[in-house]
């Protein structure tokens, strides 16, 4: 015997119809989205440091900065470049290298070599 049923005709004809078929709009669940509709997909992809090669980048950057004899500023410049490359993007790190070059700390040749190194150790993420 069906539990949620009603007789819609006289008792003699005994035609059973389920409740939810009689009132199909009543009791239905509202539309539930499959995912977060307000999510626009993030900020997009940027060129950043390839984290699998971070150690190699550090060694190469340190070698370059020692080669161009920066002295005390070497560790500050290396840390700032690494921070910008890891968290922001290659463009921001290259902009910082240009500012350091304009300040007179880096030579133009050294700045171009560092920017080439940035491109070599980066990937889209």
pLDDT in tens, 60-74: 999 999 998 888 889
Q: Please tell me the predicted confidence (pLDDT) of residue 82.
A: 96
Task: Check pLDDT > 60 for residue 101.
Answer: yes
Kind and range of the H or E element at 7?
strand 5-7
Domain count, the chain: 1
How confident is the model over 94-121, as a mean pLDDT?
Answer: 95
Neighbours of 107 (CB within 10 A): 13
Q: Tell whether 5 is covered by a domain.
A: no
Q: Write out the residue range of the structural domain in which residue 76 sits.
A: 47-124
Q: Tell whether 37 is covered by a domain.
A: no
5: left (phi over 0), alpha (psi -120 to 50) or beta: beta
How confident is the model over 96-117, as a mean pLDDT?
Answer: 94
Q: Tell whether 81 is covered by a domain.
A: yes
pLDDT band, very low/low/confident/very high, at 44 (cuts 50, 70, 90): confident
Task: Check pLDDT > 80 for residue 58.
Answer: yes
């Amino acid at each position: 015997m069906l539990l949620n049923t009603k007789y819609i005709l006289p008792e003699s004809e005994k035609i059973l119809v389920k409740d939810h078929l009689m009132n199909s709009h009543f009791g239905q669940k509202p539309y539930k989205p499959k995912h977060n509709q307000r999510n626009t997909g993030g900020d997009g992809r940027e060129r950043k440091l390839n984290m699998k090669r971070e150690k190699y980048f550090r060694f190469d950057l340190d070698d370059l900065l020692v080669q161009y004899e920066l002295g005390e500023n070497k560790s500050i410049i290396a840390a700032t470049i690494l921070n910008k490359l890891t968290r922001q993007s290659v463009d921001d790190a290259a902009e910082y290298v240009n500012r350091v070059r304009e300040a007179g700390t880096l030579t133009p040749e050294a700045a171009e070599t560092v920017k080439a190194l940035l491109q070599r150790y980066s990937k889209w993420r």
